Structure 1
Amino acid sequence: MRKSSLRTKILKEIENLVTGSTKAKVRRKYERLHVAILKNHYNAASVSIDYHRNRVEMDIIVDDNAYDPRKVNTQIPTLYANILFKNLNEFLKSCLDNDSKSLAIYARLLKSFKNNEATYTIA
């Protein structure tokens, strides 16, 4: 039961952070959060968000088996994608996953943003 409530709490907190981060005046501050969510969901190597044109450009890794951590990986097969979205908040929330790996990433993101906000308020 505790594990389930922790999952729910992490998902609620990341959804709240996404909702607050998609307001027009604070988007640039949270671009790193948006990119991390998209990279995790789409298994993308690179992500670029154009907030004015409502576009996301990314290189999605097609085959994870081609990756070898013992050498420089210059020939990983990727697929270029150019995605349009109407509402950034809804788009990012649709990219939130509920698996254990994703929840660990979201927990680290939440921790880093709480630490950064504490730093900003002290200074």
Structure 2
Amino acid sequence: MGNSRLTTRILMEMENLITKSSANPNITSRFQDLHKSILRKHYNAADVEIDYNRHRIKMDVVFNDHEYDPKTINTVVSTIPVNLFYEHLTSFLKSCLAKDVKSLAFYARLLKQYSNKDISFMPV
């Protein structure tokens, strides 16, 4: 039961952070980095560019995870170029949130970094 409440709390706080970060038409570079981190995690992308004016996201999605080794310099990693259109950035980013344990730990780190909230010690 506690895990379910923590999961809900992390996802709620991430949704609030996404709403806050994309509410202003002039998005700061700090929040742009947050958006890119969410997209990199969800799509397993090597590179992400967001064109906020044209509502486009360009990224290179890693095709085969077995070729990628984070401990070495990767000179050959198969990627697929992807160009997406989004209508509403907030809802698009929220749709990228996943509920698996690895993603939740990633979101908890993002919350600590971007909102100065440490979810693991917050009262539920």
Counterpart position of 1:96: 97
Structure 1: 5+ residue stretches without partners: 117-123
Matched letter for residue 16 of structure 1: N
CA distance in 1 between counterparts of 2:69 and 2:38 reads 24
Alignment deviations for residues 66-95 of structure 1 (CA, whole Å, 9 cap, x no partner):
123453211100000010001001110111
CA distance in 1 between counterparts of 2:53 and 2:70 reads 37
CA distance in 1 between counterparts of 2:71 and 2:42 reads 25
Matched letter for residue 68 of structure 2: Y
Counterpart position of 1:60: 61
Structure 2: 5+ residue stretches without partners: 118-124
Counterpart position of 2:15: 15
Secondary structure of the residue aligned to 1:35 is helix
Aligned-residue sequence identity (percent) comes to: 48
Q: Identify if the C-alpha distance between structure 1 residues 25 and 65 changes in structure 2 by more than 3 Å, giving closer, same or farther.
A: same
Matched letter for residue 2 of structure 2: R
**Number of positions where the alignment pairs a residue of Structure 1 with one of Structure 2:** 116
Higher relative contact order (CA 8 A, sep 6+): 2
Secondary structure of the residue aligned to 2:87 is coil
Matched letter for residue 91 of structure 2: E
Secondary structure of the residue aligned to 2:80 is strand
CA distance in 2 between counterparts of 1:110 and 1:75 reads 33
